[in-house]
Amino acid sequence: MMKQVNIQFPLRMLALLFGLFLSVGAFAQIDVKGHVKDATGEPIIGATVRVDGTQTATVTDFDGNFVLKANQDANITVTYIGYQPQTVKAAPTVEVILQDDAAVLNEVVVIGYGAVKKSDLTGSVAALKPDAKNKGLVVNPQDMLSGKVAGVNIVTNDGAPGAGAQIRVRGGSSLNASNDPLIVIDGLAMDNEGVKGLSNALSMINPQDIESFNVLKDASATAIYGSRGSNGVIIITTKKGRNGMKPTVTYSGSMTISAKKSTIDVMNGDEYRDFIKNMYGVKNADGQFLTNAEGQYVDTDGNTILPIYALGTANTDWQNEIYRTAVSHDHNVTIAGALKNLPYRASVGYTDQEGILKTTDFQRVTAALNLNPSFMDNHLTMNLNAKGMYAKTRYAEMAAISSAVFFDPTQSPYGFTSQYHKDLLGDKLDQTLRNFNGYFQWPVAADYDKDTTWPYTVNGVASMPNPLSLLYGRNEHANSRSFIGSADIDYKVHGFEDLRLHLTLGADVSEGKQYRNEQPWYPKSIYYGNWGDEKILKRNLQLSTYAQYYHDFNDQLKNHIDVMAGYEWQHFWRDEKSDYCGYYPSTSPRWIDPMSINPETNMPYGNAVNERPHTPYHFRTDSYLVSFFGRANYSLLDRYMLTFTLRNDGSSRFKEHWALFPSLALAWKINEEPFLKNVEALSDLKLRLSYGKTGQQAGAVPDYSWIATYTKNKGTDSYYPVAGDGLLYRPDNYTPELKWETTTTYNIGLDWGLFNQRLTGTVDVYYRKTTDLLNYAPTLALSAYRNQSWQNIGSLENKGIEATISWKAIQNKDFYWTIDYNFTYNHNEITDLNGVSSDGSPVPQTKDVKIGVDRYLEYQQVGHPINSFLVFQQAYDQNGKPIENAVVDRNGDGIITQADKYFYKSPAPPVTMGLASRMEYKDWDFGFSLRASIGNYVYNNIEQGMANVSPTEVWKSSLLYMNNYTHEAIGRNWQTYQITSQLSDFYVHNASFLKCDNITLGYSFSDLFKKLNGRVYGTVSNVFTITKYKGLDPEVANGFDSNMYPRPISFILGVNLSL
Amino acid sequence: MKKFIKNIMPIATGLALVFGATSCVKDLDVDPLDPNMSTEVSAEGLFNKCYANIAMAGNGGANGDCDIDGIDGGTSGFIRQMWNSNELPTDEAINGWGDDGIEQSCFNTYDESHPMLNGYFARLTTGITYCNQYLNIAADYDATMTAEVRFLRALDYYLLMDAFGRVPFSETLAKPVIMSRQEIYSWLEEELLTNIEPNLSAAAPKKSSDSGYGRVDKAAAWILLSRLYLNAEVYTGTAQWAKAAEYAKKVIDSAYKLNTTSVNGWSAYQMLFMGDNGESAASVEAIFPILQDGLTTTSWGTSQFLCAGNFDSDMHANPNDPNGTNGLSGQVWGGNRTRPSLIQKFFPNLDAPQVPSYEMVVAAGDDRAIFDGVGRELNNLDRATFKNGYAVAKFINYKSDGSSGHDATFMDADFFFLRAAEAYLAYAEALTRANGGKATAEAVNAINAVRARAHATQKTSYSLDDILDEWAREFYFEGRRRVDLIRFGKFGGNSDYKWQWKGGTYAGRNFDTYRNIYAIPASQLPTYDNVQNPGY
Instruction: Using alpha carbons, select from A663, A639, A659 the residue that is nearest to residue A650.
Output: A659
How far apart are alpha carbons B138 and B135 in whole angstroms? Answer: 6
- What amino acid is encoded at B30 in this protein? V
- What amino acid is encoded at B150 in this protein? R
CB spacing of A841 vs B129 below 8 angstroms: no
As averages over each run of 10 residues, the pLDDT of chain A (1059 residues) reads 39 38 49 79 75 77 81 81 76 80 59 80 83 74 83 85 85 85 90 77 85 88 88 90 83 93 92 92 87 86 88 94 94 90 92 94 93 86 92 92 92 93 92 94 83 86 83 94 92 87 92 93 91 93 92 83 92 93 89 89 88 85 93 89 92 92 93 84 91 89 91 89 93 92 94 89 94 89 93 92 92 86 94 77 81 81 92 93 90 84 93 92 91 95 89 78 90 84 92 94 83 88 94 91 90 90
Give me the DSSP letters along A272-333: HHHHHHHHH--B-TTSPBPB-TTS-BB-TTS-B-HHHHT--S----HHHHHB--EEEEEEEE
How far apart are alpha carbons A233 and A190 in whole angstroms? Answer: 11
Give the angle subtended at the CA of A869 by the CAs of A868 and A872, to the nearest 5°. 145
How far apart are alpha carbons A724 and B145 in whole angstroms? Answer: 12
Phi, psi of B28 (to 5 degrees): -65, -20
Report whether B80 contacts B488 (CB < 8 A).
no
Report whether B235 contacts B185 (CB < 8 A).
yes
* Alpha helices, DSSP H, located in B165-302: 181-190, 218-230, 232-236, 241-252
Report whether B285 contacts B294 (CB < 8 A).
no
Q: How far is A1015 from chain B (nearest CA, A)?
A: 48
Angstrom distances, CA of residue A929 to CA of A887, A916, A994, B68: 42, 4, 11, 48
Say yes or no: A737 contacts chain B, CB-CB below 8 A: no
Q: Which of A705, A710, A893, A950 to mutate against chain B (most B CBs within 10 Å)?
A: A710
User: What is chain B's Cα-based Rg?
Assistant: 26
**Would you tell me how many other CB atoms lie within 10 Å of the CB of residue A877?**
9
Give me the DSSP letters along B90-132: SSSEEE---STTHHHHHTT---TT-HHHHHHHHHHHHHHHHHH
Q: How far is B451 from chain A (nearest CA, A)?
A: 33
User: What is the reported pLDDT for B10?
Assistant: 52
Say yes or no: A703 contacts chain B, CB-CB below 8 A: yes
Q: What does the buried/exposed string (b/e) look like for A896-924 if buried means 16 or more CB atoms within 10 Å of the residue's CB?
A: bebebbebbbbbbbbbbbbbbbbbbeeee
End-to-end CA distance of chain A: 14
Q: Which residue has the higher pLDDT, A35 or B461?
A: B461
- Across chain B, mean pLDDT equals 93
User: Which residues on chain A are in Cβ contact (under 8 Å) with B113?
Assistant: 841, 898
B-chain residue closest to A503, CA distance: B18
- What amino acid is encoded at A279 in this protein? M
Give the angle subtended at the CA of A249 by the CAs of A243 and A255, to the nearest 5°. 135
User: What is the reported pLDDT for A20?
Assistant: 34
Angstrom distances, CA of residue A304 to CA of A408, A445, A665, A957, B374: 20, 20, 81, 14, 20
Give me the DSSP letters along A909-958: -SEEEEEEEEEEETTEEEEEEEEEEES-EEEEHHHHHT-B--HHHHEETT
Report whether A190 contacts A508 (CB < 8 A).
yes
Q: List, in order, residues 6 or more apart from A878 with CB less than 8 Å away.
A: none
Q: Which A-chain residues 879-908 have CB contacts (< 8 A) with chain B?
A: 898
User: What is the reported pLDDT for A1?
Assistant: 37
Q: ipTM score of the complex?
A: 0.93
Q: What is the mean pLDDT of residues B185-192?
A: 98
User: What is the reported pLDDT for B23?
Assistant: 58
Q: Which residue has the higher pLDDT, B91 or A550?
A: B91
Provide the CA B463 distance to its chain's centre, in angstroms.
Answer: 28
SS3 A417: coil
CB spacing of B100 vs A855 below 8 angstroms: yes
How far apart are alpha carbons A584 and A611 in whole angstroms? Answer: 7
- Angle B43-55/B115-138 helices, nearest 10 degrees? 160
**Would you tell me how many other CB atoms lie within 10 Å of the CB of residue A581?**
18
How far apart are alpha carbons B251 and B257 in whole angstroms? Answer: 8
User: What is chain A's Cα-based Rg?
Assistant: 33
CB spacing of B49 vs A622 below 8 angstroms: no
Q: Which A-chain residues 427-456 have CB contacts (< 8 A) with chain B?
A: 444-450
Instruction: Using alpha carbons, select from A303, A269, A299, A311 the residue that is nearest to residue A419.
Output: A311
User: What is the reported pLDDT for B134?
Assistant: 97
User: What is the reported pLDDT for A144?
Assistant: 84
SS3 A336: strand
CB spacing of B32 vs A569 below 8 angstroms: no
Give A752's strand partners: A685, A761
Report whether A425 contacts A441 (CB < 8 A).
no
Give me the DSSP letters along B343-405: HHHH-TTS---S--HHHHHHHHTSTT--EE-TT-BSS-SSTT-TTBS-EE-------TTSPPP
SS3 A5: coil
User: What is the reported pLDDT for B17?
Assistant: 52
Angstrom distances, CA of residue A672 to CA of A211, A640, A677, A684, A689: 31, 10, 6, 8, 17
Angstrom distances, CA of residue A766 to CA of A29, A223, A226, A746: 57, 15, 19, 6
Q: How far is B358 from chain A (nearest CA, A)?
A: 20
Helix H or strand E encompassing A874 = strand A874-876
Strands A1040-1041 and A1049-1058: unpaired
CB spacing of B37 vs A732 below 8 angstroms: yes
Say yes or no: A863 contacts chain B, CB-CB below 8 A: no
Give me the DSSP letters along B214-242: TS--HHHHHHHHHHHHHTHHHHHS---HH
Report whether A763 contacts A801 (CB < 8 A).
yes
Strands A788-792 and A882-887: unpaired
Q: List, in order, residues 6 or more apart from B235 with CB less than 8 Å away.
A: B161, B162, B181, B182, B185, B228
Q: How far is B194 from chain A (nearest CA, A)?
A: 23
Give A489's strand partners: A382, A503
- Angle B464-475/B421-434 helices, nearest 10 degrees? 170
CB spacing of A651 vs B28 below 8 angstroms: yes
pTM, two decimals, is 0.84
Give me the DSSP letters along B451-485: HHHTTPPP-S---HHHHHHHHHHHHTTSS-HHHHH
Long-range (24+ apart) CB contacts under 8 A made by A303-306 are A304/A420, A305/A280, A305/A281, A306/A280, A306/A420, A306/A955, A306/A957, A306/A960
How far apart are alpha carbons B532 and B527 in whole angstroms? Answer: 10
How far apart are alpha carbons A333 and A252 in whole angstroms? Answer: 7
User: Which residues on chain A are in Cβ contact (under 8 Å) with B333?
Assistant: 461
User: Which residues on chain A are in Cβ contact (under 8 Å) with B212?
Assistant: 722
Q: List, in order, residues 6 or more apart from A1041 with CB less than 8 Å away.
A: A938, A939, A940, A941, A942, A1031, A1032, A1033
Cβ burial of A28 (10 Å; 0-12, 13-18, 19+) is: exposed
Strand order in the sheet with A93-98: A65-71, A29-38, A93-98
**Would you tell me how many other CB atoms lie within 10 Å of the CB of residue B90?**
27
Report whether B235 contacts B181 (CB < 8 A).
yes
Ranking A493-497, B176-180, B377-381, B461-465 by mean pLDDT, the lowest is A493-497
Instruction: Using alpha carbons, select from A15, A1057, A614 the residue that is nearest to residue B60.
Output: A614
